[in-house]
């Protein structure tokens, strides 16, 4: 199964900018690149911060952009999103019985479980008892089946103070669920940090990546301020086969030359010899 993971597209109204960059243009270029190079993808998941201000016009813009994108796409909400505005723009979006934008579905690779960590009025992630009960139910319902989790916030601290100040506020509660079901969760995919990240949480591998509009910078000084830099945007291509997971990060706006090398031993000539 080929999965596309995109995160933090931060759309505004059409023509708007965020930190001097056009989120609509960047997201559209991302989708165009996917269609050219990975049009055979089975599914695309956008892990939240669909918009920057949660404006109804931004969700309408997102709907317009996606109307021409043929790959099935799943949309999660993040701290920059507005749940009622999202649901108004996407009335068919699945929700749990409490109205949170979270659901699950079977795929060829296993069950995909999409979480809603949005809490109005804060940039931190929240996953209260009602949402926790729902997640435990989903994990129990599929006894033994491989599951993959998708969420906006990082489920556990990443060691960057400002980012962790707006991380998962109830990380310990979430960790207890992850710990209980670590054997059946194959991977966790998230965004929010605008940083390329990989590692494990409660023994479960995770991956995150830069957004498509603006990018984080790793500041380990303990500063309370988030840092950003004008780096390359990316999307991830995730290959899920035979319970293995391989993740490629694609720098989709790279416009430079592509070098080519043979793979035979003698093809890797030393520079000095090649120049002779």
**Least CB distance from residue 124 to Fe ion, whole Å?**
10
Q: Does 155 bind Fe ion (CB under 5 A)?
A: no
β-sheet bridge partners, residue 200: 205
Could you tell me the two tokens for 164? 């962790």
**Least CB distance from residue 239 to Fe ion, whole Å?**
25
Q: Does 47 bind Fe ion (CB under 5 A)?
A: no
Burial class (CB in 10 A: 0-12, 13-18, 19+), 105: exposed
DSSP 140: H
How many Å from the N-terminal Cα to the C-terminal Cα in the chain? 46
Query: CA-CA distances (angstroms) from residue 196 to 71, 140, 158, 201?
Result: 24, 31, 11, 16
Roughly what angle, to the nearest 10 degrees, separates helices 171-180 and 129-141? 10
**Least CB distance from residue 216 to Fe ion, whole Å?**
9
**Least CB distance from residue 69 to Fe ion, whole Å?**
21
Q: Does 213 bind Fe ion (CB under 5 A)?
A: no
Distance CA 263, CA 265 (A): 6
Residue 21 in 3-state DSSP? strand
Stretch 3-22 residues interacting with Fe ion (CB under 5 A): 8
Q: Which stretch in 12-20, 48-56, 195-203, 256-264 sits in contact with Fe ion by CB under 5 A? A: 48-56
Q: How many residues bind Fe ion (CB under 5 A)?
A: 5
Q: Does 81 bind Fe ion (CB under 5 A)?
A: no
Among 4, 11, 18, 49, indicate the residue that binds Fe ion (CB under 5 A): 49
Task: Return the number of the residue (8 or 96) whose C-beta is nearest Fe ion.
Answer: 8
Find, among 172, 98, 91, 157, the residue nearest to 131 by Cα: 98
Q: Which stretch in 44-52, 58-66, 201-209, 245-253 sits in contact with Fe ion by CB under 5 A? A: 44-52
Q: Which stretch in 47-55, 110-118, 179-187, 233-241 sits in contact with Fe ion by CB under 5 A? A: 47-55
Confirm if 146 and 43 have CB atoms less than 8 A apart: no
**Least CB distance from residue 23 to Fe ion, whole Å?**
10
Q: Which stretch in 12-20, 49-57, 92-100, 200-208 sits in contact with Fe ion by CB under 5 A? A: 49-57
Write out the residues near Fe ion by the rule CB under 5 A: 8, 49, 78-79, 192
């Amino acid at each position: 199964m080929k999965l596309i993971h995109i995160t933090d597209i931060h759309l505004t109204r059409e023509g708007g900018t965020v930190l001097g960059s056009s989120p609509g243009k960047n997201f559209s270029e991302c989708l165009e690149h996917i269609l050219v190079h990975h049009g055979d993808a089975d599914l695309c998941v956008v892990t939240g911060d669909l918009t920057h201000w949660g404006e109804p016009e931004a969700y309408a813009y997102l709907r317009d952009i996606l109307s021409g994108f043929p790959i099935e796409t799943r949309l999660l909400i993040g701290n920059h999103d507005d749940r009622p505005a999202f649901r108004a723009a996407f009335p068919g979006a699945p929700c749990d019985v409490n109205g949170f934008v979270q659901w699950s579905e079977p795929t060829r690779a296993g069950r995909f479980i999409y979480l809603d960590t949005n809490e109005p009025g804060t940039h931190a992630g929240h996953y209260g008892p009602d949402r926790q009960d729902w997640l435990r139910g989903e994990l129990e319902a599929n006894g033994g089946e491989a599951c993959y989790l998708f969420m906006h916030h990082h489920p556990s601290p990443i060691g960057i103070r400002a980012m962790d100040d707006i991380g998962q506020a109830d990380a310990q509660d979430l960790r207890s669920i992850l710990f209980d079901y670590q054997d059946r969760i194959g991977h966790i995919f998230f965004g929010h940090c605008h940083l390329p990240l990989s590692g494990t949480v409660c023994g479960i591998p995770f991956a995150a990546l830069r957004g498509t509009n603006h990018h984080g910078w790793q500041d380990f000084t303990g500063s309370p301020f988030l840092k950003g830099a004008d780096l390359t945007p990316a999307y991830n291509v995730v290959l899920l086969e035979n319970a293995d997971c391989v993740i490629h990060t694609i720098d989709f706006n790279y416009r430079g030359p592509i070098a080519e090398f043979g793979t035979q031993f003698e093809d890797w000539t030393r520079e000095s010899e090649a120049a002779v």
